[in-house]
Amino acid sequence: MNARPLLQAEHLRKEYKLPRGQTLRALDDVSLTVMQGETLGLVGESGCGKSTLGRCLLRLTDLSSGDIVFEGRNISALSERALRPIRRRMQMVFQDSYASLNPRRRIGDLIAEPLRVHPDNEGRKRSAADITARLDELMSLVGLPQSALARYPHEFSGGQRQRINIARALALSPQMVVADEPVSALDVSIQAQIVNLFTDLRERLGLTYVFIAHDLAVVRQISTRVAVMYLGAIVEIGDSDTVLHNPAHPYTAALISAVPEPVIRHDPQRSLLRGDVPSPVSPPSGCRFHTRCPQAQSRCSAETPELRDFGDARQAACHFPLGLSA
Amino acid sequence: MDAEAPILEVRDLSVSFRSQGRDVPIVENVSFAVGAREILGIVGESGSGKSVTAMTIMGLIDAPGVRVTGSALFRGQELIGMPQKALRRLRGRKIAMIFQDPMTAFTPVYTIGWQIDEQIRAHEKLGKAEARSRTVRLLGDMGVPDPERTANRYPHQLSGGLRQRAMIAMALSCNPALLIADEPTTALDVTVQAQILDLIRTLRADYGSSVLLITHDMGVVAETCDRVMVLYSGRIAERGPCDAIFAHPGHPYTAALLDSIPPLTGPRPERLPSIAGAPPPPLERPVGCAFAPRCHFTHDTCHALPPLQRYGQQDIACVLPKEGRPMPPRVTEYAQ
């Protein structure tokens, strides 16, 4: 793969002020790079900040601090107006396929909207004929019949609606798509269709994805690299096979071990994590995971571990990484 | 299997709703039994009828125009058509149910403890203090930290996992013989889901309860259930012990469903084997096999409704085994 960074995020922070002077740190010093053509999976439990990170990367949510460089340009401080031409290079697909589509407008209208708003590559307004041609192209790209364009969102099943959302996200031929739990509301048999569609589109269009999901198996299926988040920070990031087959961070290991697999095991061995994720308003000291970590030692509550390189295309933030010499 | 009589025996249960002058069949001829201390999984995709089956057994479906036929015997007592008053004595006390969303199952205006106390006192003659001490003990048993204080908290003050534990505590408060759990872990994170599934598995040992677990997740079934019934479009596709079905799914739908789950270990497939199309809506359900339009093995005989037939330990609603062409054993890449 030609390793050219498409997007670089440096020291992203997102804080929400709460009543009584409290602060919720949704993102706490997150840095990552998304390479051209790769799929970076973001995993973690609810509240870990994965969706916030996805939205911040696209500037759909404003950062508290930090820099985002997209295609060589720092976009973290651009005004909405200056962002506009960049918006069509980066698009988003959401989990709730129904809420994402205006129920009172026809599919053709919904998908045509970005084409009407944004000029074409020569800076000219697109003609009606161009738009119609593009709509037909998009329909076949996502595997829907042309007749779908004249229908309304409620006439489609969840899987078909997600195809419509994907078609709309692709209308302006973006470089990068951030997909936030795009298949988690779908039934398994439909989920497989949509995961395959994402894979096919990546190959055909050379897309780069940031794929946010809580389902590790889905993320492994589609991602080339994976970032595991816990309480607003990345605890492990690297090649997806390395991270998911030989996790270095105890949290990654616990997450994998908690996934119920569709096979019968008579001696289920797993390290059950105790308790829930602590509140991001008052995260634990030192390593945030130390309150639930089976390996925690005194150093873990005192010293915050930094993301460290382990020489195998993977970084982990742990004082006592699993199976690796520290 | 076991000498003990089943706790719940459902026979030929059919449920249909009347809509626009037509009877819409939701569940058709579903039969199953839950043995003592057994965990039976009902698995299926949205619209397969799994929740309607459970709600019907609990007598929770009384929409106008609903038609329920068949029988559901709870310890020999017929539940279908039982007057609401008699049902109310049974529900909560002998049969309890937990739902996917504990936030909506609890009322937000009373504390968790108040609600569990009320449930205990509705069924048993107990004083307030006695009820509360049982509530606190139950919450502790369910792994709720600091149960006395938690009992005085409101549902919104608890995390999703704690709320679900509190709901299981409420369900178990009268020591029911049967617990019906409808997607109890779907709204939870995996690490918390693992804890709750662990808890459900221990219920039969600690409380002697049988469990009817409704889920869409084959992984949850594999880790939790003794036997499983696979529903497709309101009909049984297959039913039998989990050991047998996960090793050798007998119905093409079960096989395809298992195949379409991305593996967590082993080599990654280029593409996931997916099932084309979507399940038919009830009104467009074929007369013959409902899975036929999506099945790789469809042929002429599939136009007639295949009966549920016994092959080994499994009951399979498919003509293939009878024609001497059973599904091949499942090949998994899962490392042991």
| Nearest Cα residue to B225 out of B205, B208, B200 | B200
Structure confidence by residue, pLDDT tens digits, A159-191: 999 999 999 999 999 999 999 999 998 999 899
Q: Which residue has the higher pLDDT, A252 or B205?
A: A252
Q: Which residue has the higher pLDDT, A32 or B1?
A: A32
Q: Mind telling me how many Å the CA of A149 is from chain B's nearest CA?
A: 19
Q: Report which residue type is found at B66.
A: V
Treating both helix axes as pointing N-terminal to C-terminal, what angle do B160-172 and B112-123 enclose, rounded to 10 degrees?
Answer: 10
Work out whether the CA dihedral A182, A184, A187, A190 comes out positive or negative: positive
What pLDDT score was predicted for residue A268?
60
**Considering only residues 141 to 200 of chain B, which have any Cβ-Cβ distance to chain A shorter than 8 Å?**
145, 159-162, 189-195, 197-198
Q: Which two tokens stand for residue B84?
A: 């609401």
Say whether pLDDT at A129 is over 50. Answer: yes
Q: Are A164 and B237 in contact (CB under 8 A)?
A: no
What is the SS3 assignment for A133?
helix
What pLDDT score was predicted for residue A1?
47
Q: Are B166 and B88 in contact (CB under 8 A)?
A: no
What pLDDT score was predicted for residue B115?
95
pTM: 0.90
Q: Which residues of B touch A217 (CB under 8 A)?
A: 261-264
How far, CA to CA in Å, does B295 sit from each of A280, B275, B278, B283?
47, 8, 11, 19
| CA gap A53, A59 in Å, rounded | 10
Structure confidence by residue, pLDDT tens digits, A290-299: 999 998 999 9
B12: number of CA atoms within 13 Å, CB side?
Answer: 4
Nearest-by-CA chain B residue for A256: B264
State the distance between the two ends of chain B, measured CA to CA, in whole angstroms. 28
Question: Are B273 and A275 an interchain contact pair (Cβ–Cβ within 8 Å)?
Answer: no
| CA gap B313, A156 in Å, rounded | 39
Q: What is the mean pLDDT of residues B56-79?
A: 92
Beta strand B8-19 pairing with B22-34: antiparallel
Tell me which DSSP letter residue B213 carries: E
Mutation for testing the B interface, residue in A198, A204, A263 having most B CBs under 10 Å: A263
Mutation for testing the A interface, residue in B144, B183, B223, B330 having most A CBs under 10 Å: B223
Complex prediction ipTM: 0.88
| Nearest Cα residue to A148 out of A105, A159, A156, A94 | A156
Structure confidence by residue, pLDDT tens digits, A106-117: 999 999 999 999
Q: Which two tokens stand for residue B206?
A: 């600690």
| Nearest Cα residue to B173 out of B217, B148, B149, B140 | B140
What pLDDT score was predicted for residue B242?
97
The helices-and-strands tally (H runs, E runs) of chain A is 10, 12
What domains sit in chain B, N to C, each tagged with a CATH number? Answer: 1-94+176-335 (3.40.50.300)
| CA gap A126, A137 in Å, rounded | 15
Beta strand B77-78 pairing with B309-311: unpaired
Residues 6+ apart with CB under 8 A from B268: A220, A221, A241, B262
CA A73, chain centre distance (Å): 21
